[in-house]
Amino acid sequence: MANKISFDLVSPERLLLSCEADMVTVPGTEGYMGVMAGHSPLVSTLRAGMIDVSRDGKDNRYFIKGGFAEIGPTKITVLAEEAIPMTEMDLAVLDQRIKDAQEDEVAAKTDPDRQKAAGMVDDLKLVRAAF
């Protein structure tokens, strides 16, 4: 088990996953990053996107709306604003989220709000493309 990293995925409602993984890929604000055992300590904000948990030759994917990741050499904890297993994700709900984010972008009154909404649209479209 020396090559595994402990992983916890927590949403406001519940602990979604607690396991030993070979690698966890998270959507950092500066881009996706892979985390394996021995990673340097790091705290990062997360954007909307997919978490990919690789363990024992299988991948499990989770949609997150955003949040924080606390990474250490032996453990990664993700505190997500919202998290849904991709096996439970409804395509119609995802399409509605994209539409809502596009409406937020059009309705934004300031450039920072418009950029944030545009980023959400882009992130959701990436998740949609991976469906």
| Structural domains in the chain (count) | 2
Claim to verify: residue 71 and residue 120 sit in the same structural domain: no
pLDDT tens for residues 89-131?
888 988 998 999 999 999 999 999 999 899 889 888 888 887 7
Which has the closest alpha carbon to 48: 4, 3, 84, 18? 84
Claim to verify: residue 78 and residue 94 sit in the same structural domain: no
Claim to verify: residue 14 and residue 75 sit in the same structural domain: yes
Claim to verify: residue 102 and residue 81 sit in the same structural domain: no
Claim to verify: residue 39 and residue 60 sit in the same structural domain: yes
Claim to verify: residue 20 and residue 81 sit in the same structural domain: yes
Per the structure, the complete domain to which residue 123 belongs is given by 90-129
Top pLDDT among 69 and 57 is at: 69
* Averaged pLDDT for residues 59-74: 94
